Amino acid sequence: MRRPLVAGNWKMNKTTGDAVALTSGLITELAGFTGADALLCPPFTALAAVGETLRSQGSAIALGAQDLFIQDSGAFTGMVAPGMLTDLGCTYVIVGHSERRGRFGTIEDWMTPEVLALFGDSDATVNAKAKKALAAGMTPIICFGETIGERKAGQTDTVCEAQVRAALAGIDNATIGQLVLAYEPVWAIGTGETCDAPEANRVCGLARSVVASVAGQAAADGIRIQYGGSVKPDNAAELLGQEHIDGALVGGASLKVDSFAAIVRAAR
C-alpha cells in the first residue's frame, strides 16, 4: 500500500504573515487526520516561518521547497543550495516543475503560460537536482508532463517516458522506489482544465511501467506518483481514487485552508 502524498505548491504567493496564517489554519483543519501525508511548499522566503509554525505546533505536515540549485555553495547569485533547505527543515523539494523547464525558452513566450520556460530546466538539470536533493537527505518530487502541442501530436507517451527515464538516470533502484513523481500535463496547470481521471491514471501507469523497466518491479510498486494540474476539491476524489495516482500536487487550490484541506481529506 502506497500512502498518498498531497502537496501544496504555493508558487510565488504569500508573504511571511500570510504564509503563517495559512499554515496555522491547515494545522487546525487537519488535526487528527492520518489518512494521507500532507506537504507544504511555500516560496523560499516563507520556508523558515512555515517550518517554525509547523514545528512549534508539533504538526505532522511536512515542509518542502519548490526548487533547489545543484551546487552546495559558491558564487551563484540568487540560488538556494540543498543544505540551506534541509537547514530549515525541508524534507521534500519539487524538481523540474514545468514552470521551470525550458522547452519553450524564447523571448516571445514571455508572460504567456509558457513563461514557465524561462528558467531553463532540462532533463539533465532535473536529474542533477534530483541527485542533489537525495544527497542532502530530501525526497525529490520529480515533475514530468507533455505540452498541449505534444499531446495533439500524439507524443504524450514518448515525452513522458523520456522525461521519467532521464530524471532517474544513475539513481539506484532501492532509492528510486522511495521517490515521488508528479505527472503534470502542462496544459492542465493553472488553466482550470483537468486531465480526466482515466487518462491521468493511464499516464501515471505508463510512468510506473517505465520505473519497472528502469529499476525493477519493487521500485515501481513503491514509488509514489502524484497527479497535478487544476486539482480542486470537486475533482480530487475521482483523481485520487485511481489505481496509479498516489496523491496530488496542488497549485491554486492549495492557497486556501478549506480547499487544500478538502483535497488532503479526499486522499484518504
Task: Indicate which residues carry an active-site annotation.
Answer: 97, 184
Judged by CB under 6 A, which of 190, 205, 222, 233 binds ligand PGA? 190
Our finding on whether 5 is near ligand PGA (CB under 6 A) is no
Judged by CB under 6 A, which of 123, 146, 184, 246 binds ligand PGA? 184
Compare residues 184 and 215 and give the one whose CB is closer to ligand PGA.
Answer: 184
Cβ at position 185, least distance to ligand PGA in Å = 10
| Residue type, position 94, single letter | I
Distance of CA 208 to the CA centre of its chain: 16
Cβ at position 96, least distance to ligand PGA in Å = 11
Query: Which range, of 153-161, 184-192, 216-224, 237-245, touches ligand PGA by CB under 6 A?
Result: 184-192
In whole angstroms, give the CA distance from residue 70 to residue 41. Answer: 19
Compare residues 51 and 228 and give the one whose CB is closer to ligand PGA.
Answer: 228
Cβ at position 60, least distance to ligand PGA in Å = 22
Our finding on whether 145 is near ligand PGA (CB under 6 A) is no
Which residue, chain included where needed, has cell 486539482?
Answer: 231
* Largest interatomic CA distance in the chain: 50
Task: Supply φ then ψ for residue 204, to 5 degrees.
Answer: -65, -35
C-alpha cell read off for 111: 508572460
In whole angstroms, give the CA distance from residue 259 to residue 36. Answer: 16
Of 25, 17, 20, 16, the C-alpha closest to 44 is 16
Compare residues 61 and 215 and give the one whose CB is closer to ligand PGA.
Answer: 61
C-alpha cell read off for 264: 488532503
Cβ–Cβ under 8 Å, residues 42 and 14: yes
Our finding on whether 146 is near ligand PGA (CB under 6 A) is no
Our finding on whether 121 is near ligand PGA (CB under 6 A) is no
Compare residues 40 and 250 and give the one whose CB is closer to ligand PGA.
Answer: 250
Compare residues 97 and 131 and give the one whose CB is closer to ligand PGA.
Answer: 97
Our finding on whether 189 is near ligand PGA (CB under 6 A) is yes
The residues pairing with 94 across neighbouring beta strands, listed in sequence order, are 141
Looking only at the bridges linking them, the beta strands covering 5-9 and 37-41 are parallel
Positions in 246-265 near ligand PGA (CB under 6 A): 249-253
Cβ at position 182, least distance to ligand PGA in Å = 7
Positions in 226-245 near ligand PGA (CB under 6 A): 228-231
Q: Is residue 65 classed as helix, strand or coil in its secondary structure? A: strand
Tell me the HSE value of 68 on the side-chain side, using a 13 A CA sphere: 36
Cβ at position 72, least distance to ligand PGA in Å = 27
Cβ at position 144, least distance to ligand PGA in Å = 12
C-alpha cell read off for 91: 524534507
Q: Which helix (H) or strand (E) holds 18?
A: helix 16-30
Residues lying near ligand PGA in the complex (CB under 6 A) are found at 9, 184, 189-190, 228-231, 249-253
